[in-house]
Amino acid sequence: MSVSADRRRAAGILLRVEGGAFASRLLASVSGPGVRARVMAVLRWRRSLDEAINRCLKKSAIEAELRIILRLALAEIVEIGVPAPVAGDAAVRLVRQMGKARAAGLVNAVIRRAPGWWAKIMEDAPPDLKFSHPEWIWNRWKENFGGEAAEAAMREAQKPADLWAWFLEGAPDLEGLVAHPWLDGAFSAPARELLPVLRAGDAYAMDPSSQLIAHLVAKVHPSAGGRVLDLCAAPGGKAARIANFNPGLDVVAADLSLARLGLGRSLFERAGVAAAVVSDAGSPAFAVESFDLVLLDAPCSGSGTFRRHPELKDRLRPEDIKGRAELQGRLISSALRLVAPGGTLLYSTCSIEPEENERHFRRIPEAFEVLPPGEYLSESVPWIETDSGGGRLIPASGWDGFSFQLLRKK
């Protein structure tokens, strides 16, 4: 694809994301790095880009298409290293192609001045604006984790995420293969090497934080023949990794969505998942006390995954966290009923918000006790303890943010 075709395609995707679509889904079928780099740069830096653009405008209300073209051109200059005149000319061509030739002068003027404003924002704006996060997220993270950790988490979220994967039958001999620093079995390799293996179904792309779940299961329930239920399993990565990493366990994958469960069908077969079942985790289709380990990888805000899904930062509202927490509370109650005596509930989310994690476990039913994760994690895992005795990984350059809690039924 030519550079100008990349730009057109990127602008089209950004418009759809603005309308609510998920970039990762739209980018899944795009080949070549030019479109991805542009889309991700704009989504990652959306707030800071808008701030620099608005400082060049008399009124900030401009048409959505025009704003996207301006964001794209400015991101090309400040993030991708395209020379300003080249990015500016391309933006003018794009507005003309979109039938908005009358905006050409405005685009030229903004693209001449916005890089200067950008430099100023990067120099002296408060951390939320500098790292392009909404102010409410910065305030909440500062309160929950302290200013330094909150700023580090925002900084990390602005960096492109590496591609990590696990292999279904052991790591092949790929050029540039790198093992993860603290998680056995997680590997990265240059996309040209790894993508063909992923496409052939011999590997599965998954962040190391999520892969950690299979290790926890192995340590908590090492005995062969145990029954494991993943109550919110789709699209299936964790259930498959658990089955593949713990071949002695009988793993059942359940999810509310038949369509999403279908995405995991061939992976489940290859990884040795025993069954895939459509079931509402709020009223599950399973007998009480029938599993040795129940994984509830609950639907959540995804606040630990802003590196991979940058549009979430700008889409998320404080009330969404409250709504997710209410749903999770209901799902936890029914998940606990499925745990057999001596068995374990493993609760996890890719959120780092206390309301979606430790707050659920401030009080636990008398029949359960908290299992300290430290006993089941290798020393190299950089987790921190939550105030309910669970664990959390703060997002960093080699992993997403993630939270987990282990409860054992007495």
Ligand X SMILES: C[S@@+](CC[C@H](N)C(=O)[O-])C[C@H]1O[C@@H](n2cnc3c(N)ncnc32)[C@H](O)[C@@H]1O
Per CB under 6 A, residues contacting ligand X are 210, 232-238, 255-257, 260, 280-282, 297, 299
Residue 131 or 399 with smaller CB distance to ligand X? 399
Residue 79 or 297 with smaller CB distance to ligand X? 297
Residue with tokens 């299936």: 236
Query: In 3D, which of 213, 373, 229, 212 has the Cα closest to residue 294?
Result: 229
Give the start-end residues of each E strand in 48-141.
Answer: none
How many C-beta neighbours within 10 Å does residue 100 have? 16
Residue 101 or 205 with smaller CB distance to ligand X? 205
Q: What is the token pair recorded at 257? A: 């969505």
Residue 48 or 349 with smaller CB distance to ligand X? 349
Residue 117 or 347 with smaller CB distance to ligand X? 347
Taking the complex as a whole, the smallest distance from the CB of residue 260 to ligand X amounts, in Å, to: 5
Taking the complex as a whole, the smallest distance from the CB of residue 327 to ligand X amounts, in Å, to: 7
Taking the complex as a whole, the smallest distance from the CB of residue 255 to ligand X amounts, in Å, to: 5
Taking the complex as a whole, the smallest distance from the CB of residue 280 to ligand X amounts, in Å, to: 5
Give the residues across from 150 on adjacent strands: none
Q: How far apart are CA 160 and CA 41, in angstroms?
A: 9
Q: How far apart are CA 398 and CA 116, in angstroms?
A: 32
Residue 121 or 239 with smaller CB distance to ligand X? 239
Taking the complex as a whole, the smallest distance from the CB of residue 6 to ligand X amounts, in Å, to: 30
Taking the complex as a whole, the smallest distance from the CB of residue 264 to ligand X amounts, in Å, to: 7
Taking the complex as a whole, the smallest distance from the CB of residue 16 to ligand X amounts, in Å, to: 21
Give the residues across from 251 on adjacent strands: 228
Residues in the chain: 410
- Spatial neighbors of 353 by CB under 8 A, at least 6 apart, are 140, 144, 300, 301, 303, 321, 325
Query: In 3D, which of 215, 216, 167 has the Cα closest to residue 187?
Result: 167
Q: How far apart are CA 208 and CA 154, in angstroms?
A: 19
Taking the complex as a whole, the smallest distance from the CB of residue 285 to ligand X amounts, in Å, to: 10
Residue 281 or 294 with smaller CB distance to ligand X? 281
Q: How far apart are CA 93 and CA 88, in angstroms?
A: 9
Cα first-last separation, the chain: 60
Taking the complex as a whole, the smallest distance from the CB of residue 330 to ligand X amounts, in Å, to: 8
Give the Å distances, CA to CA, from 219 to 157, 213, 233, 374, 401: 30, 10, 20, 11, 21
- Amino acid sitting at position 127: P
Residue with tokens 């964001």: 71
Residue 151 or 297 with smaller CB distance to ligand X? 297
Residue with tokens 């916005």: 114
* Buried b / exposed e along 102-138 (16+ C-beta atoms within 10 A): ebeebbeebbeebbebbeebeeeeebbbbbbbbeebb
Q: At what angle do helices 84-97 and 64-75 cross, to 10 degrees?
A: 160
Residue 247 or 282 with smaller CB distance to ligand X? 282
Taking the complex as a whole, the smallest distance from the CB of residue 313 to ligand X amounts, in Å, to: 18
Residue 14 or 252 with smaller CB distance to ligand X? 252
Residue 11 or 220 with smaller CB distance to ligand X? 220
Taking the complex as a whole, the smallest distance from the CB of residue 171 to ligand X amounts, in Å, to: 21
